[in-house]
Structure 1
Amino acid sequence: MGYFDRDVLRPDDAALIDAYSQTVADAVDLVGPAVSRIERADGRPGHGSGFAISPDGLIITNHHVVEETKTVRIRAANGSVGHGTVLGRDPDTDIALIRADMDVQSWARLGNSKTLRRGHVAVAIGNPLGFDWSVTTGVVSALGRSMRASNGRLIDDVIQTDAALNPGNSGGPLVSSSGEVVGVNTAVIMGAQGIAFAVASNTANFVVSEILRFGQVRRAFIGIAGDTVALPRRIALQAGAVQTTTVRIRRIEPASPAAHGGLREGDYIIAVDTLPVAGVDDLIRHLDGSRIGRMVALTVYDVDGNLVTRYVEPASRAG
């Protein structure tokens, strides 16, 4: 069906279409003026999108838009041009925070991404392929996805949407029908048909808070290298574990929290504070900033064949 003929629509259908259009237009009116075009000030090619979240010029974008540059060029929706300083970046979530040196006329509100449901309206605003301030719409296709960041780490709680994204959309907002930002558009699977992703707004909010408070995103560090391996059934039965895979320690750094806690190469880490560990990504996720500087109980099946609890005090690792 290439077009709608209003003359053949039932009155109720026409009203629904009008209501949907008005909802999208209202959301765009609220958030659109906060969206900007972000370019690296070092002259390297490429650009992305960003959006202001406060009147004092805080702008969220993607880490891969700014990479390691310290300053960026900003072009606002009202046509004004200025520069910004990158306050911090988190490759693990593909989020970066900029402070603009220009007046910010409009800013967007970060909503609670936990209130999203599949099927909710999703509106993407950005600057794809040089077509500035483009709007695409779709629905939330799935929630709680995981995808790899550019550094190989897993980004959790990713929103999947079918709102069309293209190069240049990165860093722009994914907006709900109420005009709140519920995600930061981050990637599209090239060659796929309409599958796109956004980092959840709750994750972005956490990253922004960490950068503003500490200048970086803190994560717990225990000093091991490990592999995701199959969990032998006899060990799973002995540990009462429900997962079929886990982490086996491959290397331990000298004088690290893991070394001080008695962990050894070849140990299986079954759980962190009773939270199951089904792989390296689980271990990374469980070792967040809240566990820095306090004893953490690791359920371990050690190289001697014993199921034991090891206590480790994680240190801080910059994100």
Structure 2
Amino acid sequence: MLERTPSYLLHSANSSSNSPSDSPSERQRPSPAPDEVLLDAYSHAVTSVVDGIGPAVVRVEPQVSRRMAGMGSGVIISPDGLLLTNSHVMQGARDAMVTGPDGRAIHAQTIGDDPDTDLALLRASGGGLPFATLGNSKLLKRGQIAIAIGNPLGFESTVTAGVVSALGRSLRAKSGRLIDDVIQTDAALNPGNSGGPLVATSGEVVGINTAVIMGAQGICFAVASNTASFVVTELIRHGRVRRASIGVAGQTVPLPRRVAYAAGLPLSAGVAIAAVEPDSPATRAAIEQGDVVLALDGEPVGGIDDLVRLLNGDRIGQVVTLTILRRGEMQTLPVTPVERRTLNGR
């Protein structure tokens, strides 16, 4: 009768056998280091985005009297040639020459320009153009990879990468108005990057690069894609971005703590009315010079920028309620904003 060899002895014998899979060369082959795997994944993410988005990024050269009047970057966002760039790149020009990575130059015309968000919308001639998709910038998180593509200092199709450093920043446009919901990134930007896309690893455009803090390193800004989507819609529908006005000039002033407490608002400042335009909504609402605006429709107004932000296009022609402080007493006044007109009438 044969005795059965215990299983642990069989296992021991098999482990010590010289099987082909246990050859010295196999045992000595090093496994990839974790850092190398991560680096390969990072490189793949960036190169995939560049391959997908790169063809839609163009050089933008505004034309004045058929002469080049500057240079920046832009990104095509639809197959019929809609193109986003910065307002400060176009400088009011109605025409531009745009050149893609393949060297093909095509003509583009301005559809609309919004200096208050530093965005301009153009349409490039021709169809079937490569294009990128505007993503949802509300899904961004700090530390997320951010990739910038553009033409810094005239070096075409340059790619830089970094991370989203901060969200919800405010940046003052050349018009003097604050641009809200600005993305801060440390992806290297230089003059010429303006108007180019900031892209997430999903392959969607999450921002339009707009500004660099000169003398600083790694502090760059992009207008969020959700702001860009709103501006594009407004410019297509109306040729301008509609904003409301009540016809006042004001300045930010500090408030006594007791006033904020009485108003039930988290305020340390308000907006003092310095002037009221004649025949304006403010005049019709009996707003007076010296009144201090504390809230609009219950939303705190802690400074002139808050008032400008709250007077958006949705409030044109709609009755709103201003909470004001007049000679030590709080009052509420109904006012109906009208559309604000810019200096050039657009």
TM-score, normalised via structure 2 length: 0.88
Partner of residue 209, structure 2: 185
In the TM superposition, residue 46 of structure 1 has moved relative to its aligned partner by 2.3
2:246 is equivalent to residue 225 of structure 1: no
2:94 is equivalent to residue 74 of structure 1: no
In the TM superposition, residue 78 of structure 1 has moved relative to its aligned partner by 2.1
Contact 2:63 2:69 in 1 (8 A): no
Q: Distance in 2 between matches of 1:47 and 1:201?
A: 22
1 or 2 for the larger relative contact order (CA 8 Å, sep ≥6)? 1
Change (3 A) 1:215 1:45: closer
| 1:74-125 Cα deviation digits (max 9, x unpaired) | 1112221111111111000000000111335210000000000000000000
Q: Distance in 1 between matches of 2:325 and 2:98?
A: 53
Aligned mate of 1:249, from 253, 265, 273:
273
Partner of residue 34, structure 1: 56
Partner of residue 312, structure 2: 288
Partner of residue 130, structure 2: 106
Root mean square deviation of aligned Cα: 1.5
Q: How does 1:135-146 map to 2 (within 5 A)?
A: 135-146=159-170
2:161 is equivalent to residue 155 of structure 1: no
Partner of residue 199, structure 1: 223
| 1:204-233 Cα deviation digits (max 9, x unpaired) | 000000000011000001000000110122
In the TM superposition, structure 1's runs of 4+ consecutive aligned residues that sit over 6 Å from their partners are none
| Counterpart AA for 2:259 | I
Partner of residue 336, structure 2: 313
Aligned mate of 1:131, from 128, 131, 155:
155
Change (3 A) 1:8 1:187: farther
Q: Distance in 2 between matches of 1:9 and 1:104?
A: 46
| Counterpart AA for 2:269 | T
In the TM superposition, residue 301 of structure 1 has moved relative to its aligned partner by 0.9
| 1:172-211 Cα deviation digits (max 9, x unpaired) | 0000010000000000001001110000000000000000
TM-score, normalised via structure 1 length: 0.95
Contact 1:211 1:217 in 2 (8 A): yes
Partner of residue 3, structure 1: none
Q: Distance in 1 between matches of 2:265 and 2:154?
A: 51
Contact 1:217 1:318 in 2 (8 A): no
SS in 1 for 2:74: strand
| Counterpart AA for 2:182 | V
Report which of the two structures shows the higher radius of gyration computed on alpha carbons. Answer: 2
SS in 1 for 2:266: coil
Q: What stretches of structure 1 of length at least 5 have no aligned partner?
A: 1-6
2:74 is equivalent to residue 50 of structure 1: yes
Contact 2:111 2:235 in 1 (8 A): yes
| Counterpart AA for 1:75 | T
Partner of residue 45, structure 2: 23
| Counterpart AA for 2:331 | V
Change (3 A) 1:297 1:15: same
SS in 2 for 1:85: strand
Percent identity, aligned pairs only, is: 56
